[in-house]
């Protein structure tokens, strides 16, 4: 089943906000609707499985790991109508152009990723993807300090907040990261 027009949908938020669960929910619905779905993820993300996108709650969906955004072009099958991309913040800047091209071809592009890095600053190509999208869903987690709505990702090093000049990309999960609200998010300089 082909779409009458393509689109870009972005699912963003902090870690533990349910981005991958929401991506998988939309992918499953597309599959039920008999649409041809392909899912891609950055090869750097090997936390749970190499050839699956997997949420922190254990939901998963088969995926193709790619080194660069441009690899999607050569891996895309002719009859694909829905493309899912998880952890888009780890993709290179070319992901914006690739998403635009896919949408222009009539493909529904579903993208999930962190909108901000551990510093609380825009992460990778996510701001540009959000600007290009027809729909942006910003999800929130629960602050690990106060229980309020969390919009930020706190990186921890030996139980303490990571410093501003620490590396931006370190792939990890609950052992290194917490969801935090604005008030409790700390980035020592």
Residue 31 within a domain: yes
Structure tokens at 52: 């699956």
| Cβ contact 108:3 at 8 Å | yes
Q: What is the rounded average pLDDT for all residues in the chain? A: 92
Structure tokens at 31: 């599959």
Residue 39 within a domain: yes
The reported pTM is 0.92
Residue 146 within a domain: no
Cα distance between residue 135 and residue 10, in whole Å: 6
Phi first, then psi, for residue 122 (nearest 5°) are -50, 140
Please count the CA atoms within 13 angstroms of the CA of 106 that sit on its side-chain side. Answer: 10
The per-residue pLDDT for 58 is 81
Active-site annotation holds for 87: yes
| 55-110: pLDDT as tens digits | 878 888 899 999 999 999 999 999 999 999 999 999 999 999 999 999 999 999 99
Question: Based on the structure, what is the number of domains in the chain?
Answer: 1
Residue 29 is part of a domain; what is its CATH number?
3.40.50.300
The per-residue pLDDT for 55 is 82
Residue 25 within a domain: yes
Cα distance between residue 121 and residue 74, in whole Å: 32
CB atoms within 10 A of CB 93: 10
- Burial of 98-110, coded b for 16+ CB within 10 Å and e otherwise, reads bbbebbeeebbbb
Residue 40 within a domain: yes
Confidence of residue 173 (pLDDT cuts 50, 70, 90): low
pLDDT above 60 (res 1): no
pLDDT above 80 (res 48): no
Kindly state the average pLDDT of the residues 38-42: 96
Catalytic residue among 9, 22, 87, 132: 87
Q: 74: domain range? A: 7-139
Which DSSP letter does residue 121 get? Answer: S
Helix (H, G, I), strand (E, B) or coil at 123: coil
Cα dist from 148 to 69, 83, 145, 151, 175, whole Å: 35, 33, 8, 10, 21
Kindly state the average pLDDT of the residues 4-24: 95
Residue 98 within a domain: yes
Higher pLDDT, 2 or 109: 109
Which DSSP letter does residue 122 get? Answer: B
Cα dist from 115 to 14, 82, 102, whole Å: 7, 22, 21
| 138-159: pLDDT as tens digits | 999 999 999 999 999 999 998 8
């Amino acid at each position: 089943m082909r779409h009458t027009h393509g689109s870009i949908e972005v699912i963003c938020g902090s870690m533990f906000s349910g981005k991958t669960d929401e991506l998988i929910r939309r992918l499953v619905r597309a599959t039920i609707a008999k649409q041809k779905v392909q899912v891609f993820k950055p090869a750097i993300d090997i936390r749970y499985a190499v050839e699956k996108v997997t949420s922190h709650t254990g939901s998963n969906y088969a995926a193709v790991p790619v080194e660069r955004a441009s690899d999607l072009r050569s891996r895309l099958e002719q009859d694909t109508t829905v493309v899912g991309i998880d952890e888009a913040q780890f993709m290179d800047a070319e992901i914006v152009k690739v998403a635009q091209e896919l949408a222009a071809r009539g493909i529904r592009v579903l993208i999930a990723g962190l909108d901000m890095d551990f510093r609380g600053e825009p992460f990778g190509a996510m701001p540009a993807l959000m600007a290009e999208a027809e729909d942006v869903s910003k999800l929130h987690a629960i602050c690990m300090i106060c229980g309020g709505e969390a919009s930020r990702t706190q990186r921890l090093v030996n139980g303490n907040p990571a410093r501003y000049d620490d590396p931006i990309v370190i792939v990890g999960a609950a052992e290194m990261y917490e969801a935090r609200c604005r008030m409790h998010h700390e980035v020592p300089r």
